[in-house]
């Protein structure tokens, strides 16, 4: 008997638990002052730890079907449907300068002027830190330790249970994707 079904069941259980925690984070009354907490998603890209601000995300998905489309943007994996709306899905590894690998199982949807999906290697969980924690302490060292191009797409670091994690700047990622899309269009479309 193969262990693959157990791995899929475990991934689905993790996804269900995280979905519940994600939904609860938005239904909870925001706290103020010293008791305020900031929630993050702990992820891995190319074997390196990163964090995403939960407030930057619209959803977390595992094994979502992404339909490839012809595109000149090398980061574009394809499109996925979320509640009937088609959303472009980009490979976060490529955006951050990591080499392409096997298809990523995980993706997050982020909100912006143009919603997007960002696919990544592994979801490690969710964590919170005190709202008064300085997310930029040690930023230069942590960003230098990450892949060189990743530094342009991070905004400081955050202390998680397992150490410092660079925080991915979703706004910077979306701006880069928009610039790449604009430069990839043929001159006749501009």
Residue-wise pLDDT for 112-170, tens only, equals 778 899 999 999 999 999 886 555 545 545 544 555 667 889 988 999 999 999 999 99
Q: At a CB cut-off of 8 Å and minimum separation 6, what does 165 contact?
A: 40, 42, 49, 50, 51, 142, 157, 158, 159
Between 26 and 52, name the one with better pLDDT: 52
* pLDDT for 95 beyond 60: yes
* pLDDT for 107 beyond 60: yes
Task: Look at residue 38 in the predicted model and tell me its pLDDT.
Answer: 95
Task: Look at residue 24 in the predicted model and tell me its pLDDT.
Answer: 56
Contact 19, 126 (CB under 8 A): no
- Residue 28 burial (CB < 10 Å; 0-12/13-18/19+)? exposed
Other beta carbons within 10 Å of 20: 10
**Domains present along the chain, CATH in parentheses:** 4-189 (2.40.50.180)
Q: How far apart are CA 158 and CA 19, in angstroms?
A: 22
Q: At a CB cut-off of 8 Å and minimum separation 6, what does 23 contact?
A: none
Task: Look at residue 14 in the predicted model and tell me its pLDDT.
Answer: 72
Cα 85-89-90 angle, rounded to 5 deg: 155
Task: Look at residue 39 in the predicted model and tell me its pLDDT.
Answer: 96
pTM assigned to the model? 0.75
pLDDT one-digit tens code per residue, 76-86: 999 999 988 89
């Amino acid at each position: 008997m193969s262990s693959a079904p157990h791995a899929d069941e475990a991934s689905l259980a993790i996804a269900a638990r995280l979905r519940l925690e994600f939904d609860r984070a938005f239904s909870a009354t925001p706290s103020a002052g010293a008791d305020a907490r900031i929630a993050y998603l702990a992820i891995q890209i190319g074997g390196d730890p990163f964090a995403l601000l939960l407030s930057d995300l619209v959803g977390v998905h595992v094994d979502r079907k992404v339909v490839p489309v012809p595109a000149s943007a090398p980061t574009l994996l394809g499109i996925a449907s979320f509640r009937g709306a088609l959303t472009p899905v980009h490979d976060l590894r490529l955006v951050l300068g990591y080499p392409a690998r096997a298809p990523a199982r995980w993706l997050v949807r982020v909100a912006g002027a143009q919603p997007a999906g960002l696919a990544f290697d592994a979801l490690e969980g969710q964590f919170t830190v005190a709202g008064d924690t300085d997310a930029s302490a040690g930023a230069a060292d942590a960003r230098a330790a990450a892949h060189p191009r990743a530094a342009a797409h991070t905004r400081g670091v955050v202390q998680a249970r397992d150490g410092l994690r660079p925080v991915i700047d979703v706004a910077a990622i979306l701006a880069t994707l928009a610039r790449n899309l604009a430069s990839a269009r043929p001159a006749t479309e501009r």
